[in-house]
Amino acid sequence: MNPEGGKILMIDDDEDVLLAAKMLLKKQNHHVIIEKNPKKIPFLLNNDTYDVILLDMNFSKDITSGKEGFYWLEEIIKHDPASVVILITAFGDVEMAVRALKQGATDFILKPWQNEKLIATIATAIKLKQSYNQVDKLKKAKEMLEEQISKPFAEIIGKSQAIQEVFNLTDKVAKTDANVLILGENGTGKELIARAIHQRSLRKENSFVSVDMGAITETLFESELFGHKKGAFTDAREDRPGRFELANGGTLFLDEIGNLSLSLQGKLLSVLQSREVTRVGTNHPLPVDIRLICATNMPLHKMVQEGTFRQDLLYRINTVEIHVPPLYERVEDIPLLAQHYLNYYAKKYHKSVKLITPEAMDRLKRYAWPGNIRELQHAIERAVIMTDSDTLQESDFLLSRSLSSGAVNHTLNLDEVERTAIAKALQMHNGNISKAADELGLTRASLYRRMEKYGL
């Protein structure tokens, strides 16, 4: 018996043939759906996916020419060019077989068939379908890899003692397959550290797949991470591998893992323990080989004590912890980062600006940067866009003076007041978006919009 049977759709107007084939193929552990009426093919294709489709060439309206079979073959291929179709006829000849193959059929079987021949043909067809699925998965992984590679600022910049300690730990852990937990405030570059670990690892030739756990809803969690079969739910219009499958052989980066509910933490833990995923709509577990890196700005150890984060999951994900320092702890890196972003945005926006005045740089170094490197990046981008000079002045930066050492803010400008309040809330809660939003009386979405508006 074949332990990895496939899903087979068989369309033939002879009920005896359908039942005989179904009984034979069920013994091979295949799941067989039979249908007499070819007009139901569109419905069947829209509501499920199949490894192999067995299609009769001739139906009652047209006994011997095979025209109906060719028509439905064309419709099936049109619906999914990767369909694996085996045509069946009692009146076949070489010419018809060749034509069927040219039009997209995978193989051709004559009735009455030999059982061993049918079983072998279907086994070969299922392997072909699996190879198509693998190619599709690799294509999606390649697209994701190219998207990740095309992102700017792939290098970590800094010479401070604080960031050098992170570099040293990154180098030590990279060559292992140990799970890594990266902790740090929003905007400190946690994902860059994760990418650096991947690029220095033995998995660097394979995919780095990043997932923002804070952006995945409860209902889509399993579909996004574990994949789904076509028809598993309303919007599942095609087979889709999950992020675990796409990261197979490479690195899976789960950002904002502290935002997961306890129920989703349990599902994630189960997969990490078994190293298997099951697509939504199937019951076939798939083995996955991934290197796991997680990140969060939330205090997971405290959350374990409070009962909001599973201790067994924390043990699973933090074989090694890396703490990324906030920007105010690495002030000596601000000139390097500022010049880096200046060069990038000057080129991007075709501006001639090349320098930052000493006075402006001094202000950048005295500012508290509650939004960390991301806020610095946005501040430089805005300054480059707005300046008409080839040198950025202190006045080109809209930074809250209340967050600079020794300065007092007396402005009544509403935008400036709001920006200051948001920056203070973020600083007060160490960049924790949820707590800062509660402090300000805003939703997380509203706070994100305002942070984007003010470059925080």
Phi, psi of 99 (to 5 degrees): -60, -40
Beta bridge partners of 94: none
Amino acid at 279: R
Q: Which structural domains are found in the chain, ordered by start?
A: 7-133 (3.40.50.2300), 160-323 (3.40.50.300), 327-454 (1.10.8.60)
Q: Are 151 and 178 in contact (CB under 8 A)?
A: no
Strand pairing of 285-287 and 107-110?
A: unpaired
Q: CA 364 to CA 425: how far, in whole Å?
A: 20
Quote the distance between the C-alpha of residue 365 and its chain's center: 36
Phi, psi of 321 (to 5 degrees): -105, 135
Tokens of 450: 């305002």
Of 262, 267, 320, the residue nearest 294 (C-alpha): 320
Could you check whether the bond before residue 287 is cis, i.e. omega within 30 degrees of 0? no
Q: CA 109 to CA 117: how far, in whole Å?
A: 9
Q: Where are the alpha helices (DSSP H) in 275-390?
A: 300-306, 311-317, 334-348, 358-366, 372-386
Strand pairing of 31-35 and 7-11?
A: parallel
Q: Are 232 and 281 in contact (CB under 8 A)?
A: yes
SS3 396: helix
Beta bridge partners of 31: 7
pLDDT in tens, the chain (456 residues): 344 578 899 998 888 888 988 888 888 888 889 988 888 988 888 877 888 998 888 766 554 556 778 888 888 888 888 889 988 877 656 677 677 778 888 887 877 888 888 888 888 888 888 887 777 766 666 665 555 544 443 468 899 999 999 999 999 999 999 999 999 998 899 999 999 999 999 998 888 999 999 888 888 899 899 988 777 776 767 778 889 999 999 999 999 999 999 999 999 999 999 999 998 888 888 899 999 999 999 999 999 999 999 999 999 999 999 999 999 899 999 999 999 999 999 999 999 999 999 999 999 999 989 889 999 999 999 999 999 999 999 999 988 665 554 444 445 567 777 877 888 788 777 677 888 888 888 887 778 778 877 767
Beta bridge partners of 419: none
